[in-house]
Amino acid sequence: VVVFVDRGELEHSLHTCIGRLRHLGRRYFLVPVDMPGAFHPKVFLRLGNEGGLAWIGSGNLTRGGWGSNSELAGAWQLGGPDADPGGWVTGLLSYLDSTLRPGLARDLLARAQRLEWLPDAPEPGTGPVLFSHDQTLAGQIDRRWAERKFTSVKILTGSTDRDAAMLKWTVERFGIQQ
């Protein structure tokens, strides 16, 4: 089990919770990620020779995120004839690789990237999962749905920006009425 975490958040947690973290990293490999901004995904991948499983959710890896908050998650199969082919996984692994220092974590990523069932990475923003690496999520959505209009949208989120700019942009850009 490899857990990729934001280096700044990890260092803050280690400093403020030093006495409570005695089991940190004992049953999994904790990998700090160096990147500008925040590293904040909640993606779980179980990858093997025959395929894999993906789980994406909103919960942080905390007691609140897994026990007391109302969070949203989805899970699905990867690889195989009736499953998500996983091209986005290839892109995500490649991106993670670019953020890591040499060592065991990069070796594990390289091993995952060599799985025969994983296809070449699709063009960014075309797979079923969007992640912001070199372009904003809004930019990826705009490119994916260019020239399309929608009558309604459902957005499930625990928070948004103060002025609801993302919601306003969505309504204006895609002609949403409700």
By mean pLDDT, which of 14-18, 33-37, 109-113 is the weakest? 14-18
Q: What is the DSSP letter of 84?
A: B
Tell the burial category of 160 from Cβ atoms under 10 Å away from its Cβ (0-12, 13-18, 19+): exposed
Q: What pTM was estimated for this model as a whole?
A: 0.76
pLDDT at position 174 is 92
pLDDT at position 115 is 93
Do 167 and 153 meet the contact criterion of CB atoms below 8 Å apart? no
pLDDT at position 18 is 66
Rounded distance, CA 69 to CA 65, Å?
6
Q: Provide the Cα torsion 141, 106, 12, 138; round to 10°.
A: -10
Report domain extents, the chain. 2-136, 145-178
Using alpha carbons, select from 2, 16, 1, 12 the residue that is nearest to residue 100. 2
Residues 63-117 pLDDT 10s: 788 788 888 888 999 998 888 888 888 888 888 888 888 898 899 999 999 999 9
pLDDT at position 116 is 92
- Strand stretches in the chain, DSSP E: 2-6, 29-33, 43-48, 51-57, 73-78
